[in-house]
Chains A and B, each alone.
Chain A
Amino acid sequence: MARTIQINPITRIEGHAKISIHLDEHGLVEEARMHVTQLRGFETLIEGRPFYELPSLMARICGICPVSHLVAAAKACDDLFSVQIPRAAILLRRMMNLAQIMQSHALSYFYLSSPDLVFGMDADPAKRNLFGLHAEHPQMARDGITLRQIGQQIIELLGSKRIHPAWVVPGGVNAPLSDEKRREILAKLPEAKEIILRTLDQYKEALVNFEPEIGTFGNFPSLFMGLVDRHGNLEHYDGRLRVIDSAGNNIIDQHDTLDYASLIGEAVEPWSFVKFPYYKPMGYPKGMYRVGPLARLNLIDQCGTELADKELLQFKGGDELKMFGKRRDDAPVLSSFHYHWARLIEILFCIERIESILDDPAVMDTHVRAHAEPNSFDGIGVTEAPRGTLVHHYKIDQEGKVTWSNLIIATGHNNLAMNRGITQAAKTFIDGDNIREGMLNRVEAVIRAFDPCLSCSSHAAGQMPMIVELVDSEGQLVRTLKRDSTNS
């Protein structure tokens, strides 16, 4: 008798989703699917609005990564202006984007995933959360909170507001950086650097405990896509697209982001509100690719900053990975478990880059905004958000009102890979006749490794109730496994 297990909702992620695991008549996992159960709807909402409002409007998609949407929307508006924006504005926007990646990665790693990594996948759910972490490893919990705080404070110092700052506008930013704020930001960076270096060491030490998970948490060949700068190095604000295959060969390089549509196709499945983007030349679903920290580190030549490059060397060719069967130094890291590691290296990179931007005298220039009327009716903005490549594409009419838009959110790119990843983990860990909480947690943890931002807004405080239902092929409930918010 075929059955379905549901994990609903998935906990410790940003947004709302559920997983269904389909079992065959022998109780073996056939397939697992992640259903995103909420609708964003922003594309319709902005129709008819003047495009000047778009950055702040689109920032409201998300409370965790508003800056990513701000920046992508503002870049799309710059494209509508068709003007070169001031260099200081680019540096300032870039800095805010880096601060945002830093705080978002800290949130994902420390708040959402570290309980699994510290206590183990089978640990008591009552302990396996941020509060448990704080009780047993107060220093680590404090590190996570401080790191996120520093990222958020940098955003606030630049844009006067931590969440949804209205500072990024079409044509640049609406206020220059003061010397006082520059010094304040600089003063915060040494502590951030100390924390991330300490965390990287802790993470690498803990890796040995997760051999089965590393082997099966979305560990498969796929394409990887992301932005690179003109030297092929790590780039989050501007840059061009690079796609590599699972052997590490560049199959597309320095591809103009304005032509994203020739690379990315979008498929739709009836069971999820998130589309399924795929690499167009290879078709659907064969053109599965991954984006985000793991993809970025896999496809770049170098980070471009001293300490991050040292870590990258170890990430790509270190003994830690050889232990798990990685053969060549230049081959991509295929296990999605290592999104966590990549995230930590990116935090280090962000700190180093912010430091170097602040050392550039050009960042203090007071000319930070270009004014123009739209000179094009089609605008595209592409950036790297914490979770991957983010595309905002707008069309406007003669009066400057939005007539059409398309958004490809980072999480969407990973949709195919996430589904493949949970299927792989479910096949390894789920035994249909004997379901334990720890097994299901592993399937959820695959999703957490990707750090999806599903709604782009999380309403979950702490851990939400989780219900697993075993349903037979006639729709009859066979068994219910419940984890409620009071005892978990």
Chain B
Amino acid sequence: MRPSNASIKTFKINGRDLSGRSNETILQVARDNGIEIPTLCYLEGLTPVGACRMCMVEIEGSSKLHAACVTQVREGMVVRTDSERLRKYRRMVVELMFSEREHICAVCVSNGHCELQMLAEQLGITHIRYPRLEQKLSVDASHDRFIQDDNRCVLCGRCVRVCGEIESAHTWDIMGRGVSSRVITDLDQPWGDSETCTRCGKCVHVCPTGALIERGMSVAEMLKRRQFLPYLTIMREEDR
């Protein structure tokens, strides 16, 4: 780890007096101190983007909610990571994700190993209150090793970041806006035709759901291995 000029800040999370470096986020400090905040788009080793809004926390003196993964700690701040209001919003966010695409856990290759499913379980979600969009999106099975199933994508952008930041290939990107956004390879060409894809498979393993999978996987068989990421990040930093 490179030496840092950051100063030490003291603050409260859930009533506990804590300290952290000024360049650390609320999420990092909370996790270092055993305080769990749910996340989905965040993955240690990738740049946080605050896209999924799962890690929202309350900060005293602010009426807004703040994404813990991108909010740095400040001196004297008072943070709450759990409240009825936060649970309500988190449930709403997850339910909206379920209603947007075809997340049918029972027949999904990631059943039992899916981060979206785990979040729903943690938040006690048994039903989706919102009408489903019923989009029938395509499945790209043109790659000889992997499959992309847009129906199971939550647009967390982890694949885009790991491909750009770690593999430096930048095969993935997001096109469109709002509910019509889609993750694409190159200039929306079939994955199998992509000239930039190095076939490394990092995108598949950072994907939190069954949207990016290995070929030949049957239901509940897709286990994702993400342990490689923090090591790769540290090694990259040391190289610089």
Contact = CB atoms under 8 A, between A and B. Distances in A.
B5 to A, nearest CB: 51
Interface string A46-77: 00111011011100100000000000000000
B59 interface: no
A53 B219 CA distance: 6
At the interface, is chain B mostly helix, strand, loop or mixed? loop
B107 A60 contact: yes
B142 A53 contact: no
A400 interface: yes
A56 B138 contact: no
Interface stretch (B61-69, B156-164, B210-218): B210-218
Contacts of B106: 60, 164
A48 B139 contact: yes
A252 B172 CA distance: 57
A244 B111 CA distance: 45
A55 B218 contact: yes
B220 interface: yes
Contact of A52 (B136, B142, B215): B215
A49 B218 contact: no
B138 A48 contact: yes
B123 interface: no
Given A57-B107, A60-B107, A164-B106, A50 B221 contact: no
A169 to B, nearest CB: 4
A52 B220 contact: no
B27 interface: no
Nearest to A171: B216
Interface string B190-223: 0010000000000000000000000111111100
Interface string B120-150: 0000000000000000101101100001010
Contacts of A15: none
B109 interface: yes
Contacts of A174: 218, 221
B46 to A, nearest CB: 27
A56 B107 contact: yes
B211 to A, nearest CB: 13
Contacts of B138: 48
Residue with the highest number of chain A CB atoms closer than 10 Å, among B111, B141, B149: B141
A56 B219 contact: yes
Interface string B77-90: 00000000000000
A412 interface: no
A166 interface: yes
A401 B219 contact: no
A170 B139 contact: no
B188 to A, nearest CB: 17
B221 A49 contact: no
A400 B214 CA distance: 13
Contacts of A164: 106
A399 interface: yes
Given A50-B147, A164-B106, A57 B219 contact: yes
A166 B218 contact: yes
Contacts of A328: none
Given A48-B138, A57-B107, A401-B139, A371 B218 contact: no
Contacts of B216: 52, 371, 373
Contacts of B139: 48-50, 401
Contacts of A49: 139
B180 to A, nearest CB: 19
Contact of B142 (A48, A60, A169, A399): A399
B147 A169 contact: no
Contacts of B109: 52-53
Interface string B209-240: 00000011111110000000000000000000
Contacts of A401: 139, 141
B151 to A, nearest CB: 9
Contact of A53 (B107, B136, B192): B107
Contacts of A371: 216
A399 B107 CA distance: 20
A184 B199 CA distance: 45
A244 to B, nearest CB: 37
B141 A50 contact: yes
Contacts of A50: 139, 141, 147, 149, 215
Nearest to B217: A52
A174 B219 CA distance: 11
A53 B104 CA distance: 12
A169 B218 contact: yes
A400 B141 contact: yes
Contacts of A400: 141, 215
Contacts of B147: 50
A373 B215 CA distance: 9
A56 B104 CA distance: 12
B236 to A, nearest CB: 34
Nearest to B111: A166
B94 to A, nearest CB: 23
Contacts of B111: 166
A57 B218 CA distance: 10
A444 to B, nearest CB: 32
Interface string A386-406: 000000000000011100000
Contacts of A373: 215-216
B132 to A, nearest CB: 14
The 9 closest A-B pairs by CB, nearest first: A56-B219, A399-B141, A169-B218, A166-B219, A166-B220, A57-B107, A52-B218, A401-B141, A400-B141
Interface of A: 48-50, 52-53, 55-57, 60, 164, 166, 169-170, 174, 371, 373, 399-401
8 contacts: A48-B136, A48-B139, A57-B107, A60-B106, A166-B111, A166-B221, A169-B218, A400-B141
Interface of B: 106-107, 109, 111, 136, 138-139, 141-142, 147, 149, 192, 215-221
Given A164-B106, A170-B218, 14 more contacts: A48-B139, A50-B141, A50-B147, A52-B215, A55-B219, A60-B107, A166-B221, A174-B218, A371-B216, A373-B216, A399-B142, A399-B192, A400-B141, A401-B141
